[in-house]
Structure 1
Amino acid sequence: MSELQHMPGQRGPAEHVMRERIVALAHTMFRNEGFAETSVAKIAAELEVAPTYLYKFFQSKDAIGSAVCGRALEEITDAIWAVARSKTLASQRIRDLFRVTLKESMGMFFADRKLLNLVARSITQDWPSIAAHKKRIKDVVEYIVRDGMDSGEFDPDLEFEEVVEAVFWALRPYADPRLLEQSMDMDLENQAQLIARFCLRALTARKTIEVTD
């Protein structure tokens, strides 16, 4: 969780046992009681410290929520990094990226309604954990696209940054709980693979056909 420890709203030493205890307990309490119902005073009481002590580590309850949200979202990006670093072809990794992002997001967001609400709140309020999550997803896309271009599997003449941006935005609906919730009546797995195939058609290097007399 190293990058989360230096986010806006967090205070104190980068590594501290109490910081980890606060985040772990807040995660449990937010999931059991809900974010709105869990006050800093309640968290402090469970830890048997004064509320003011928690403010040595976090500027506000939102900052605690952002850290909890970031910790949860790391589970998704850990899964897609495993896809990116696999030894399969880049085209297969693109397909797996869409499939795994959808699977992990659905599994996390809809297994726990209160966690879903927390992540949705973090997106609406643009908490730092969301910016970090988006960056990690984009880093994964960059990694796979770069591999595909370097190997010649993807068209090396394509504009790299433009390709990364396009794939990232194509992937986004499968990582955003608000958009997923609005699409629950759709066959999301087939839809995700349809979009993945469309991306691959745009990415795949065109073979030059030599015409001889």
Structure 2
Amino acid sequence: MTNSPTPITPQRGPTDHDVRDQIVQAATEYFGRYGYEKTTVSDLAKAIGFSKAYIYKFFDSKQAIGEVICGNRLQMIMTTVDDAIHSVPSAPEKLRRMFRALVDAGSYLFFHDRKLYDIAATSASEAWPSLQAYENYLKTLVLQIIREGREAGDFERKTPLDEAVNAIYLVMRPYVNPLLLQHNLDHATEATGHLSSLILRSLAP
């Protein structure tokens, strides 16, 4: 007797979207317990009660499942950052709060959801699209803050905008990239304050 589900039809059973969500939810729990690297699609299929072939109808690889989970976790960090800078009036304070929120959210995920954090670290080491989207989000946010600061007269205008954005991101990267943050946790909070001040001095008009 197998555990393979009845094929989905438009009239009965769950929709494709529902099944995908079910797989992702189960995979999140399984990866969170046993880790991403040590888990195979066969392991996951047995845990969920689906056949391996059925899972491959919705995801073409284990990485594709990991991509969704990673994207969900990184989205949590981005939402935390957006909440932290929402309604903050000045660009300098937005930059400080953005940096601090990124480190705090990443550190929390590392200490409270370590095995799922490892998926984000894997995405960084292998340059998954989910991590690339996260990096683009950060650079875009830094760009918006710099533009806002320049318009308000808080930041200098001589440095080319793209150069300033890239330089700030490189300073932040060891504390916001999941692969690198895990090696810089001991002094991350202190470093956030010092580096934010350094960045703001370099941006002063």
Q: What does residue 22 of structure 1 align with?
A: 23
Q: How far apart in 1 are the matches of 2:151 and 2:55?
A: 48
The SS at the match of 2:73 is helix
Query: What TM-score do you get using the length of structure 2 for normalisation?
Result: 0.83
CA distance in 2, matches of 1:155, 1:39: 52
1:66 matched residue in structure 2: 67
Percent same amino acid at aligned positions?
32
Letter in 2 for 1:201: R
Residue correspondence of structure 1 range 89-104 to structure 2 within 5 A? 89-104=90-105
Report the equivalent of 1:159.
160
Which residue in 2 is equivalent to 1:195? 195
- TM-score, length of structure 1 as denominator length: 0.81
Give structure 1 stretches of 5+ with no counterpart.
Answer: 1-14, 206-213
Mapped to 2, the partners of 1:21 and 1:169 lie a distance apart of 38
Structure 2: which 5+ runs fail to align?
1-15
Structure 2 CA distance for aligned equivalents of residues 115 and 62 of structure 1: 13
* Alignment check: 8 A CA contact 1:80 1:140 kept: no
Instruction: Name the counterpart of 1:135.
Output: 136
Is contact 1:81–1:140 with CA below 8 Å preserved after alignment? no
Deviations 1:67-125 (A, max 9, x none): 11111111111111223443321001111111111111100112233123222222222
Mapping for residues 36-47 of structure 1, pairs under 5 Å: 36-47=37-48
Structure 1 contact 84–144 (Cα < 8 Å) conserved: no
1:92, 1:37 → 2: CA distance? 42
Deviations 1:113-154 (A, max 9, x none): 312322222222222211111111112212211211222221
Contact 1:145 1:154 in 2 (8 A): yes
1:81 aligns with 2:82: yes
Q: How many residues of Structure 1 are paired with residues of Structure 2 in the alignment?
A: 190
Question: Does the 8 A contact of 2:122 with 2:179 survive in 1?
Answer: no
| Residues in 1 aligned to 2:97 and 2:45: alpha-carbon distance in whole angstroms | 42
How far apart, in 1, do the equivalents of 2:92 and 2:185 lie?
A: 27
Can you list the C-alpha shifts for 1:11-43, whole angstroms capped at 9, x where unaligned? xxxx82222222221111100111133322333
What do residues 151-194 of structure 1 show as CA deviations (whole Å, max 9, x unaligned)?
Answer: 22212333111111111111111112333332344x32121111
